[in-house]
Structure formats: structure tokens, C-alpha cells
Amino acid sequence: MKKLLLLSLVLLAWNTYASPNEDFPSASISNNVVKATLLLPDKEKGYYQATRFDWSGVIESLEFDGHSYFGQWFKNYNPKTHDAIKGPVEEFEPIGYDDAKVGEKFLKIGVGALSKTNEKPYSAFALYDIENAGTWKVKTRKDAIEFMQELKDESGYGYIYTKTVRLVKGKPQLILEHSLKNIGTKTLETNAYDHNFFLIDKELTGPNIRIKFPFEISGTGRGLGTIAEFKGKEINFLRELKDKEDMFIGSVNGYTNDAKDYDFRIENVKSGAGVRFRCDQPLSKLVFWANPNTACPEPYIHIQAGPGQEFKWNITYEFYTFH
């Protein structure tokens, strides 16, 4: 009986900390330089079924030159958990939440039309009922995957959201190509950010992880001075983060309204692997968050599209090694 109990506890611990082995809808892409596996949107079988992040472009793994860049950074997996997700995932701030009455709908692009359940302020960490998820279409090629969500709703919201995850021929580059076309009667205005859950060679967050910015940075927040410090254009960690510890800077300052300031690097100085990511839109806000497994610059951009209008933007990732 004791042996059975011990075995059960071991299995429970393994399932808590390890990636699940279920067969989630997925597809792989490669350009013979970079290879990646993506998890596909599916409201019943998909890896991610919560309401915080965009369901498209979830990258389970990416490898370049013997180095790995993504993986499971969190402990507990549940498809309905708001942050049980991998890759350079994006979140759109809610549209129409404050104007909606309880029981009415608000919008989360990349998720759908959700039901407002109470009068509390919107929380990214809450799970909302999806009243209308629209329809998803996925087209796969050898080096790219196109995700398209079309949503039409009686609330007046409507859009065609397209995201293409594309590897550049012959280069260690991946591009997220976005298009948001408004096919409804209400204006779509929101901010969107990329959370960038990098896990470079599974290195723990600490002095071996270096974050670089194109401008002199400043700001205040939890963990500055004790966990990490600003040093010119870098965030340097003073020590490794402890279990269940995190740091958070709600507003990193120093950028301008020029798109050239959307230009960041994360490097693992121990393994000599890094990534640079840039966008063709200016920053509207910049946040930084880290836990023991991942360190994340979170760059925001502003998005607006009136009825019949289309908004486009691209984010480019360049993978590299150094000595």
C-alpha cells in the first residue's frame, strides 16, 4: 500500500512539472536553418484553451544551431489556465469591457467574443466564457503556418485576424506577420504586446541571462536592486531567482515614438545563444517580468482599425550565437 502511494505521488509530481504527453494538434516548419513546432488552435483539443492570450502562433519548441529557445516555463499545466502557454505569445487588451453590462459581450482578439460575468474590473488572470470563438483556418507550408480567425457577432464586433509564422529562406529568422481587418460596425482599438516567453537552452533566470535595449533604461519595480539592476542599456541579474519568486517593472522608460526603439535582445551568456526581436511599429508601453525560468521584455503597440479598415504589423526574430 505504501509503495502504491509513493508511486502515485511520484507520478503526480512528474505530471505537475513535466510537459504533458497528450497528442495536441501541431505542425512543424523548417527552412534548414531553424526548425520549430507550433501548437494549433482547437477549442476542444488545443493545448491552450484559456482567454488571456491569442490562440495562434503558440511555439512549443524552436531550435537553431544546436540551441533551444522555447519550452515549458511554468509548473502546472491545464489548458484552461491563463498562462499555460509557450512561445512568443501575444495578448490583445480587451475591447468594450468597460461599456458592457453583466451578461453582455466584450472582445479579445485571437480568442473571441467573451461574456462579462460581473462588475469587477477586467482581469487577465480570470477565465471568461467564450460566447463566440468565430472560425479558425490553418494553412501549413514547409516553412510557414498561416492562422486566420474570422469573427462576426451580433454585438457589432467583427474582424478577420491573420497571423503568419514564417521562417526566412536561408536565414536564422522568424517573422510574425499580422493583419487585423475590421468587418464589423464598431471600431477596434486596443494595445497588444508580445510576452516573449524565451527559455534559451533551459538556463535559469540569473547572471547568465542578459537583456539588452537600444536606449538607456529607467523605471521602478519589484526586484530592482535585489534581484536585478539597470546598467545603461541592459538589465543584469544579481542572482538567480528563487522558486516562486518573480520581478516586475510595470513601466520601463527611455524609449521614443520611433519604431527603432522596438529592438531587444535576450542572451544566454553561458551557452552563447541569443535572440534579437524588432517590430515595424513604435512602442506604446514597455513592461518587464521574470520568474526563475524566463525573463520577458513585453513590448506593447497601439492598434486601431475603424469599420472596413485594416491594420498590419510585423515582428522579426533573429537567432544567433556568440562567444
Q: Which long-range contacts (CB under 8 A, 24 or more apart) does 221-225 make?
A: 221/247, 221/248, 221/249, 221/250, 221/288, 222/246, 222/247, 222/248, 222/249, 223/247, 223/248, 223/249, 223/290, 224/249
**What is the structure's pLDDT at 22?**
64
pLDDT of 67 higher than 80: yes
Mean pLDDT for the chain?
Answer: 93
Quote the number of domains for the chain.
1
CATH assignment of the domain containing 30 = 2.70.98.10
Share of the chain above pLDDT 70, in %: 93
Residue pLDDT, tens place only, 14-64: 333 334 446 899 999 999 999 999 999 999 999 999 999 999 999 999 999
Distances (CA, A) of 239 to 56, 57, 104, 231, 248: 34, 32, 47, 15, 15
Length reported for the chain: 323
73, 79 Cβ separation under 8 angstroms = no
**What is the structure's pLDDT at 235?**
97
148, 55 Cβ separation under 8 angstroms = no
**What is the structure's pLDDT at 23?**
86
Going by the DSSP 8-state scheme, the letter that residue 68 receives in this structure is E
Residue pLDDT, tens place only, 290-320: 999 999 999 999 999 999 999 999 999 999 9
pTM equals: 0.92
User: What amino acid occupies position 5?
Assistant: L
User: What amino acid occupies position 128?
Assistant: Y
Rounded CA separation 87/163 (Å): 14
Residue pLDDT, tens place only, 240-295: 999 999 999 999 999 999 999 999 999 999 999 999 999 999 999 999 999 999 99
In angstroms and rounded to an integer, the radius of gyration of the C-alpha atoms of the chain is 20
Q: Mean of the pLDDT values across residues 186-204?
A: 98
Range of 48's domain?
2-321
